[in-house]
Amino acid sequence: MAFLLSWASVLFGCLYASVAGASNLSALYPPLWDESPGQFSDYRVENGQYVIDPWVYTERMGIYKILLNQTARYFERFAPENEQNALWGLPLQFGWQYETGRLADPTHTTNCGYTENHLCISVDSWWASINYFLNVLPFLSAVDSDVMGISSDQVALLPPPKDQTPFCLSVSACRLLYPITMNKWNYFYQQLKLPSTDFNELLEYLWEAHTSTLNDVLGIFEPRLNYYLKPEEDFERSWAVAVDYIAALRFPTTLIKTHDFQKGLPPRMLVTGDVAPFISDFTKFQNTVLFSLNSLRELHESTGGLSLILWKNLMKTEFARNVVLEFLEIINKVFT
Ligand SMILES: *[C@@H]1O[C@H](CO)[C@@H](O)[C@H](O)[C@H]1NC(C)=O
Ligand SMILES: *[C@@H]1O[C@H](CO)[C@@H](O)[C@H](O)[C@H]1NC(C)=O
């Protein structure tokens, strides 16, 4: 029960709350969306290739923007204005990272990501490194799946300034390093193209590809956690655990729901002395979510991961997921 309550408080604000007067969806887009490339021809062209630097915020965001644009036709049947595009979760999460200073150089040895150089994405940032794979792998897989309208040799991704080995730059290199994950992203796009696939199935395949991506790279970037103050490091570890639980619930990562969910995430980097649920400049919702995420990780670790196995088993049927969703709705009403 404590477990469900913990979950409920993480998710209560997002599943049922809806944006008041969400008539203007563009208000929910991530930062600098309008300034980011919306088509390949907005990028620099060299030797017949579009050159994209994923270590510049707007250029990485442009990859998402084009991906969202190119997949819009497959999500049309669920809602107008691309609102139900399940890929919204990725750019919104990336935008939250930017807005909260999480893409900046955590070692403070460069000005990358700070005021005068705020579009710079630091390769030393744990968040930015992990996000690379939630950006480039779904993108290259979409290219490979003929979703993007270009072939893989028409695009050139630039490497980061250092630590280049894990950051694959092409379909073939990414397939070589992350074959299982690339197959999962390809499978998602294959299913996306079939008009018979329902939304729930798409969420399942999307979350499988997402968690497989994290499984591939979380270990590689663990040393980067040392660059952070303890409360932020703890939150990063908790976040990495929580994603598996959110995935099992098949959280619908549409524009409005992701936006609502993110209101509960820390609005700045955590610093020494930040103890949820008592952080004075956080909302009650943000304090509750942070406290719950940390509690969830404690539960997860103290049971040696058994809690996740149980949770996954519970969440296997649509019936069970609906029970949890209804339970969350009740909790939501109690809290608000
Ligand atoms: C929607 O919001 C955006 C930015 O907040 C604004 O530029 C635009 O004019 C608005 N559109 C409508 C139809 O209200
Ligand atoms: C996709 O991009 C094109 C060109 O920028 C634009 O005209 C179109 O409205 C976009 N479609 C969606 C669904 O965003």
What is the domain range of residue 169?
2-335
Nearest CA to ligand 1 atom 12: 24
pLDDT band at 335 (very low <50, low <70, confident <90, very high): low
Ligand 2 nearest atom to the CA of residue 68, by list position: 14
What's the number of domains the chain is made of? Answer: 1
Nearest atom within ligand 2 for CA of residue 72: 13
pLDDT for res 13: 44
Task: Name the closest-CA residue to atom 6, ligand 2.
Answer: 69
For the beta sheet containing 49-52, the strands, ordered from the edge strand earlier in sequence to the opposite edge, are: 44-46, 49-52, 155-157
Q: For ligand 2, what atom is nearest to the CA of residue 81?
A: 13
| Tens of pLDDT, residues 277-311 | 999 999 988 998 899 999 999 999 999 999 999 99
Give the model's pLDDT for residue 331: 59
Q: Which ligand is nearest to the CA of 31?
A: 1
Predicted confidence at residue 285, as pLDDT, reads 86
Distance 27 CA to ligand 1 centre (A): 7
Residue 10 has pLDDT above 70, yes or no: no
**Residue bearing the bigger pLDDT, 275 or 10:** 275
Whose Cα sits closest to atom 1 in ligand 2? 69
CA-based nearest residue to 123, from 161, 156, 95? 161
What 3-state DSSP class applies to 155? strand
Task: Please report the pLDDT score of residue 324 as a whole number.
Answer: 77
What counts of helices (H) and strands (E) characterise the chain?
12, 3
Q: Which two tokens stand for residue 73?
A: 């036709």
* Position with higher pLDDT, 327 vs 73: 73
